Amino acid sequence: MSEIVYPHNYLYGWTGIVSVATFIAGLLAILEGAGIVTGIYILPDIPGGCILILLSAVFGTAYHKGRTDRPGWISFSYIASLFLLIFALCSVLIQGGNYLAVIMEGEEADALTIISSSFIWAAIIAIPLYVGVSKLLYKCSCSGDRCE
């Protein structure tokens, strides 16, 4: 099976970087949640960390598929980055809601907790990938096998 050479090699390579970054973000959230690592500015969140590791596996699959299956790479990295962005937005809303509720109850809260979720940091890294692969997805679907 011959390997495909992409005109967007940097984007393909970025998938690998996003996969590793998402895994690290998930791991840190779990370690913080379990109380093993403390002091880093990441929200302790064991279920959230597991979801990040799941998304990291989807990015990893995209990277792996990309060696021989270009549409496969596009679809897996598109979905993983889309869900990561949506989940990051949800995290902001969740933390924002909690923050507002605490303030309204007359207690003190740290506004920076709103952006402390590890989803946000992973999502920032995934934005270029999302932009790139969503364009490729459209071309891929509209022009048959011309996914470039």
Partner 1 sequence: MKDIRILLSGNPNVGKTTLFNALCGVHQHTGNYPGVTVDIKEGKRQINNHNIIVSDLPGTYSLSAFSPDEQVARDALLTSNPDSIVQIIDATNIERNLFLTTQLLEIGIPMVIALNMCDLADEQGISIDIECLEKCLKVPVVRIVAREGEGIDKLTDAIISVTEKKTACKHREIEYPHSITTHLSEIGDYLSSSASLLGNLSPKYAAIRLMEGDEHLEKMLHDNGLVIPFIDKCDPAERDGIAEDVLLARYRTAEEIMTCSVKCTMGRVMPADLIDQVLTHRIFGIPIFLSCMWFTFQLTFSASAPFAVAIELIFGYFTEAINSIEMNPFIRSFLADGIIGGIGSVLVFVPSIFIMFLLLSILEDTGYLARAAFVMDRFMHSMGLHGRSFIPFLMGFGCNVPAIMATRTLQSRADRIITIITIPFMSCAARLPVYVLFAGVFFGAVAGNVIFFLYILGIVVAIVTALAFRRFVFKGEPSPFIMELPPYRKPSGTAAGIHMWYKGREYLKRAGIVIFGGVLVVWALASLPAGVEYGSAESLAGSLGQLLQPMFTPLGFNWQLVVALIFGFIAKEVVVGSLGTLYGGEDILESSLAADPTLSPAIALTFMVFVLLYLPCVAALGVIKQEIGSLKWTAIAVGYGIITAYIVSFITLHLASFIMGA
Interface residue list for partner 1 (CB under 8 A)? 47, 51, 54, 57-58, 61, 71-72, 74-76, 78-80, 83, 87, 90, 93-98, 100-101, 104-105, 137-138, 140-145
Nearer to partner 1, 41 or 139 (CB): 139
Give the nearest distance from C-beta 27 to partner 1 in angstroms: 17
Give the nearest distance from C-beta 114 to partner 1 in angstroms: 11
In whole angstroms, how far apart are CA 82 and each of 21, 65, 109, 111, 124?
16, 18, 30, 26, 12
- Tokens encoding 34: 């379990």
Give the nearest distance from C-beta 55 to partner 1 in angstroms: 8
Give the nearest distance from C-beta 21 to partner 1 in angstroms: 18
52: Cβ–Cβ under 8 A, 6 or more apart, which residues? 22, 23, 25, 26, 29, 118, 119, 122
Cβ atoms of 77 and 133 within 8 Å: the answer is yes
Nearer to partner 1, 40 or 93 (CB): 93
55: Cβ–Cβ under 8 A, 6 or more apart, which residues? 22, 26, 80, 83, 84, 87, 122
Nearer to partner 1, 50 or 125 (CB): 50
Nearer to partner 1, 57 or 115 (CB): 57
